[in-house]
Structure 1
Amino acid sequence: MKSSISLKKNNEFRFVYENGKSYANKYLVMYVVENNLEYNRIGISVSKKVGNSVIRHRVTRLIRESYRLNIKRFKSGLNIVVVARVGAKDKTYREIESALLHLSKLHEILEEGI
């Protein structure tokens, strides 16, 4: 089994957009909704406004890796959609990770003491 399960279908993303709560910072927007499962599902969206395909894929990899390395800190049973903003295109891993954890704290989806 994969370490993180992805949201892939358009209707899954739309459900999170319409029913989830969102917070944003300079680099990312995060939508969160409960999924009544024992695991999280994450979706990452990077539009063409961010840059060409090389830049978009790099930003996607940075977000996915930031989530993967901190997965034990997240509460379970959530659908999470992370949308990259234009400002994320030339940021380092540490900046993206910091932005992701900041939004997670605003959503109160991080476990205490880990």
Structure 2
Amino acid sequence: MKFSESLKKNRDFQHVYKNGRSHANRYLVMYELDNGLDKNRLGISVSKKVGNSIVRHRLTRLIRESYRLNEELFPCGKDIVVIARVAAKGRSCREIESALLHLGRLHKMIQINQ
């Protein structure tokens, strides 16, 4: 079983934004960067443009849970920042999970046969 931490500090987010690679789809944007550790660090960002605090926290929970359920598919040693887009508002857990896995495949972090 893997264990991931959260990215909390602004400088960590900025480091991933500046040096990481990004891919996007309709609902999410994902930045990834090697961190040199034996675990992943996940950061989630949801702008006020997306909605009020209830909507933003719901999206944060959905993204975190989608990552947790599929954590074993992601390789260790990555800083991952996921940004929710306005289109993600009101989407189901299944749609958010699918978008997250799609971005993982675009970054060539996970291999899933569909």
Q: TM-score, normalised to structure 1's length?
A: 0.94
Q: How does 1:17-96 map to 2 (within 5 A)?
A: 17-96=17-96
Q: Is this contact kept in 1: 2:3–2:40, CA < 8 A?
A: no
Aligned residue for 2:98?
Answer: 98
Structure 2, unaligned stretches of length 5 or more?
none
Q: How far apart are the structure 2 equivalents of 1:112 and 1:60?
A: 24
The CA distance in 2 between the partners of 1:4 and 1:61, in whole Å, is: 15
Distance 2:110 2:104 in 1: 6
Distance 1:38 1:28 in 2: 25
SS at match of 1:32: strand
**Whole-angstrom CA distance in 2 between matches of 1:105 and 1:77:** 17
Q: How many residues align?
A: 112
> Quick check: 2:63–2:96 contact (8 Å CA) kept in 1?
yes
- CA separation in 1, counterparts of 2:36 and 2:27? 29
Offset, 1:110: 1.4
* Equivalent residues of 1:28, 1:85 under 8 A apart: yes
TM-score w.r.t. structure 2 length? 0.94
